Structure 1
Amino acid sequence: MGSVMTTSPERICVGSIAGAFGVQGEVRLKSFCADPEAIAGYGPLYTADGNRSFSIKLTRPVAGGLGARIAGVATKDQADALRGTDLYVDRTRLPSLPDDEFYHSDLIGLEIYDTGGVLLGTLRAVHNHGAGDLLEVYAPTRKQPLLIPFTKAAVPTVDLAARRIVADLPEGLD
């Protein structure tokens, strides 16, 4: 299973600006798209609040991301000033996802039940530290959040219509 970062149902985070690359205003872009170069095909990208838009053109692969030019950014200082800026696109511009992939915003806040129907908690976040997605489940009765691997085996059911997830917890995770 996979997921894509997002903050609201209308706008999806597809990447971020990691800082300047070189001295000519080029930026290092981190793409959160399954095909990293697809980020350039969605049209203008926006800040989270939608107040700024960016037209980007990919230039070359660089360490840890993609090199890109942003319209109106011509110096290293201008590029550095954009470091940490998340880039969003309207959800309607994105392709529909396969059945086993979900946008984070569709999952956050869903209740998670075990296979016996017992409420485990509420999905608070989706993390990926390089080895696949983990669901962070908050339960008021736990001191620490429960982290569940987001795999078909551990999470056999995601029912967006019913706003619930069923988790089959691996041994020792309960």
Structure 2
Amino acid sequence: MTKDECFYLGKIVSKYSFKGELLIKLDTDEPESYLTTESILVELNRKLIPFFIEESSLHKSSLLRVQLEDVNSEEDADELVGLSVFLPLKQLPQLAEDQFYYHEIIGFTAFDEKFGEIGKITGVNDTTPQALFEIEHKNGKEILIPVNDSLIQKIDKSNQSFYFQTPEGLIEMYLE
């Protein structure tokens, strides 16, 4: 399985006990939905290695405390601390029609209430303090729109269309 077929679940941040238990900082708003996960994929030397979960529980609400099969000591756990954890895309929880995962809107056509079609969504930059939709305008310029519920008018997943209501001057700033 490749990383393209997976989503980032979180990072192993520390050991929890001398028995090899680990704490995973989950990158999700709903950590409880991963309590019944049977296995995880850990990125080790640029490869995804499967590990089966023997036990798991939430720790301080956003950390998943896990006991992995064949990780039975502090030494075993030390080798995994700091590594990223992934799950197959098919394990993503289903969202409501007005919700979306960043990866699933890539390629959607973006529309603005005032400008009509403004381009294709090419990505979402979530490395900045405010996540930004990256949209390639038909003239080749990039338009950045903050990921903010108040700016999203409608999402039409079946037609791969995303509708914005942007503030005055935002789109113009990129097209000048």
Instruction: Using structure 1 for the length normalisation, give the TM-score.
Output: 0.70
- Structure 1's consecutive aligned runs of 4 or more residues displaced over 6 angstroms after TM superposition are none
Q: 1:77-99: CA deviations, max 9, x gaps?
A: 332322222220451x4542222
Counterpart CA distance in 2 for 1:60 and 1:164 is: 37
Report percent identity of matched pairs: 20
User: Which of these residues, 160, 163, 174, is aligned with residue 160 of structure 2?
Assistant: 163
| TM-score normalised to structure 2 length | 0.70
Gaps of 5+ in 1: 1-6
Larger Rg: 2
Q: Distance in 2 between matches of 1:121 and 1:36?
A: 31
Matched residue type, 2:69? A
Matches within 5 A, 1:18-57: 18-47=13-42, 51-56=48-53, 57=55
Is the 1:111–1:164 contact (alpha carbons within 8 Å) kept by the matching residues of 2?
yes
- Higher RCO, 1 or 2 (CA under 8 Å, sep at least 6)? 1
**Higher percent of residues as helix:** 2
Q: What is the number of residues matched between the two proteins?
A: 161
Aligned partners of 1:36 and 1:122: how far apart in 2?
28
Per the alignment, residue 106 of structure 1 pairs with 104
Deviations 1:100-158 (A, max 9, x none): 2222221123232212313155231252878xx7333143324xx6142331x301122
- Please name the residue that 2:146 is paired with: 148
**In structure 1, C-alpha distance between the alignment counterparts of 2:65 and 2:47, rounded to whole Å:** 23
